[in-house]
Amino acid sequence: MTADSLPGASAAAMSLRDRFDDALRDFLRTRRQEIEWSEPEASVLIDEIGRLLGAGGKRLRPAFCYWGYRAGGEGDDGRIVRAAAALELLHTMALVHDDLMDEAKDRRGVEASSVHLAAEAVRRGLPATPERFGWSAAILVGDFAVVLADRMFLEAGFSPASTTRALDRYHRMRTEMAVGQYLDVAGLTVEAGAARRVARLKGGAYTVEGPLVIGASLAGASLHQLALLSRYGDPLGEAFQLRDDVDDGEAGDGATPSTVNELVDRAIAGLDPAEFSAESIEALRDLAEHVAMR
């Protein structure tokens, strides 16, 4: 799923996406100034992150984090926009490193980081071999994106107690991301059931359920609410990853449009109007329907 925005996204959804992008631009601008004051030649790292963010993306992970917060009983405020936007920086790391592992040449309609940075070495007249520089610098861009994600999340403005609650799921999500990616790289997704297990780690942990529970934790949601959100997020995250695999022609055992739709329906059925506001349920249902293959 590589479109720049969700097909049929509402005006409210696009407005929220714009708020995430504004928060990211403000944060990156400040961080770039810090680098310029100390090592201006290294500003290429943050410029590359900005280039990739500017190329598009649906901002799904920030959206799930935001609506997890709202489902947890809190209203709209700038803190959750900043905390949620930080997850897009984590996603940027995953994209950059994934492109390296796949030896991809493009991402979101622009050059992949290794290709762009190799050309940058030539433009700047750097003494390093362009191809080697491009590969190595792309690794550093991904690493730096994680550092920035952590800082943006921690500096979003929440209390230490709220941040600590959310960090438990944040750290677990990052672990599950790495584990799922390793299983994929190792080729351990071809046996029966393995594709769906990896999809739960790569999709549920990092795309839907993880961001959703992080947002709800920042809101101080009850254990019951967290469990209900996980009941929504687990199947939807798996559906998202399986759809990605189907669209890319990489579907393993158990990855079919029918399976995707069944998982989406199960997710939506888990939204309890007795626990969550009508507004948050509508938004989460809308996000789920965009994953379906109907």
d(CA 72, CA 66): 10
Angstrom distances, CA of residue 274 to CA of 216, 233, 285: 16, 18, 15
Give pLDDT tens digits for 176-209.
888 888 888 887 666 656 766 776 776 667 899 9
Rounded to the nearest 5°, which phi and psi values hold at 163?
-65, -40
d(CA 255, CA 199): 9
Question: What does the block give as tokens for 265?
Answer: 């329906």
Are 78 and 157 in contact by the 8 Å Cβ rule? The answer is yes
Residue 3, pLDDT score: 35
The answer, yes or no, to whether residue 4 has pLDDT greater than 50, is no
Question: What does the block give as tokens for 223?
Answer: 């254990």
Q: Which residues, other chains included, contact 1 with Cβ-Cβ below 8 Å and sequence gap of 6+?
A: 58, 240, 243, 244, 247
The proportion of the chain whose per-residue pLDDT surpasses 90, expressed as a percent, equals 69
Angstrom distances, CA of residue 150 to CA of 32, 120, 146, 229: 16, 27, 6, 23
Give pLDDT tens digits for 283-294.
999 999 988 877
Residue 205, pLDDT score: 79
pTM score above 0.85: yes
